[in-house]
Amino acid sequence: MKVPLGITTLHLSRKSALLLLLAAGLLGFGGYDYVQQSQAVNNAVAVQATITDARVDRLDGGRGIDYEPEIHYTYRYQGETYTSKQVFPSTGIRTYSDRSKAESVVESYEPGTTTRAYVSPADPDDAFLIRERTPFPLRAIAVGGVLSVIGVLAGLGAKNPGQQELRPASEGQPAPRESWVARHGATMHRLSKQLLGICFAAFWLSMVGLVLGLLNTGGFGGAPQGIQAELLGPVGLPLIAAFCFWVGMILSLCLYGVWSFTEYRQLRQRLPAPKPPSPFRHPSRLVTILGTEDGSLSEYGKRVRLTGWALLIAAGMTTALAYLLYTAG
């Protein structure tokens, strides 16, 4: 599929087109929800509401367990009586992975008490209790922006990068002075794969230990204090172990990436002239190679793909860990 874009043309595969379609959906929904929330926060008027029910609902989904603060209330606006259970001015439902955070929202709204709700004059049957925006729209816009950049880069990239055949090793240029990584490459390769396998298995074993610890302390479905265990207790120890093994997986991927990048540089010396641009200096070429099946790539392209994915996964795992530490703090 060819899509004109200013002075250039995007050559989109089916995967790239679907990626851009998903990105457009996230950007559109995120932008709509952000505008809707902003208008609701800025234009809402305060009314008196009576709480009829307040509880925390447990939601079991594919991503794990989430907790939703569900608060039912009634209110009057311009002589009419309305009911609502919306807490935030968002079209989506705001949930929490930590039960205590959901309970901290609910504890301020005891059934039978009165509180302040906010009503939009243009939509009086859609009130909310907490006058603040949720982070979901900005997250959707951020994810949509990243996906759109990836899709555009894939469309701008060369049609068949990573398929260049290599000259025989005997015809290559004189080998440069070997680096420390090149001299110890076999050891680095072996250690990185062994460390990754050990840390991966141990991480999931620590997750099993965490689940058992939560069951023993009443952390599932119980009071929030059941999760506030000692650092060296049945919950704290598996968490520490999971953190260490997660970091170990990141380090093993980085070690593999360094070794693999060294192998890539050696293979690049065997490319026939004129050599194509380096994928690690041209993101559009790298994105295209990352999305290409191994069977369509040469030895050089496969090495680029493995190197790119190792470093990309390590960066994603590091970002996820930093986000969890930030939210936990």
Q: Is 228's pLDDT higher than 60?
A: no
- Let me know if residue 146 belongs to a domain: no
Which of the listed ranges 33-42, 103-112, 124-133, 186-195 does the model predict with the highest average pLDDT? Answer: 186-195
pLDDT score recorded for residue 227: 44
- Structure-model confidence comparison of residues 253 and 154, the more confident one: 253
- Structure-model confidence comparison of residues 245 and 94, the more confident one: 245
Residues 262 and 222 in one domain: yes
∠ CA 310-200-185, rounded to 5° = 45
152 neighbors 10 (Cβ within 8 angstroms): yes
What mean pLDDT is predicted for residues 189-205? 96
Q: Is 54's pLDDT higher than 90?
A: yes
Residues 75 and 121 in one domain: yes
> pLDDT-derived band of residue 219, with 50, 70 and 90 as boundaries?
low
- Let me know if residue 17 belongs to a domain: no
Residues 211 and 316 in one domain: yes
Q: Is 20's pLDDT higher than 50?
A: yes
Residues 125 and 221 in one domain: no
- Let me know if residue 145 belongs to a domain: no
Positive or negative: CA dihedral 238, 244, 246, 248? negative
Mean pLDDT of the chain: 84
How far is 283 from 271, CA to CA, in rounded Å? Answer: 20
Domain of 311 in residue numbering reads as: 157-167+181-328
Which region among 59-68, 274-283, 301-310 has the lowest average model confidence (pLDDT)?
59-68
- Let me know if residue 148 belongs to a domain: no
Residues 126 and 76 in one domain: yes
pTM of the model: 0.66
Which region among 69-78, 166-175, 205-214 has the lowest average model confidence (pLDDT)?
166-175
Between helix 299-328 and helix 236-268 the angle, nearest 10°, is: 150
Give how far the C-alpha of residue 150 lies from the chain's centroid of Cα atoms, to the nearest Å.
Answer: 15
224 neighbors 99 (Cβ within 8 angstroms): yes
- Let me know if residue 302 belongs to a domain: yes
Pairing state of beta strands 8-11 and 2-5? antiparallel
Q: Is 63's pLDDT higher than 70?
A: no
Residues 101 and 244 in one domain: no
Residues 216 and 275 in one domain: yes
Residues 232 and 104 in one domain: no
- Let me know if residue 78 belongs to a domain: yes
10 neighbors 3 (Cβ within 8 angstroms): yes
∠ CA 135-138-139, rounded to 5° = 80
pLDDT score recorded for residue 91: 67
> pLDDT-derived band of residue 8, with 50, 70 and 90 as boundaries?
low
Residues 163 and 301 in one domain: yes
Residues 311 and 163 in one domain: yes
Which of the listed ranges 112-121, 124-133, 265-274 does the model predict with the highest average pLDDT? Answer: 112-121
Q: Is 247's pLDDT higher than 90?
A: yes
From residue 299, give the alpha-carbon distance in Å to each of 155, 254, 255, 306.
23, 21, 21, 11
Number of domains in the chain: 2
Residues 126 and 189 in one domain: no
Residues 212 and 63 in one domain: no
Positive or negative: CA dihedral 141, 144, 146, 148? negative
Q: Is 192's pLDDT higher than 80?
A: yes
- Let me know if residue 14 belongs to a domain: no
How far is 153 from 287, CA to CA, in rounded Å? Answer: 7
- Let me know if residue 275 belongs to a domain: yes
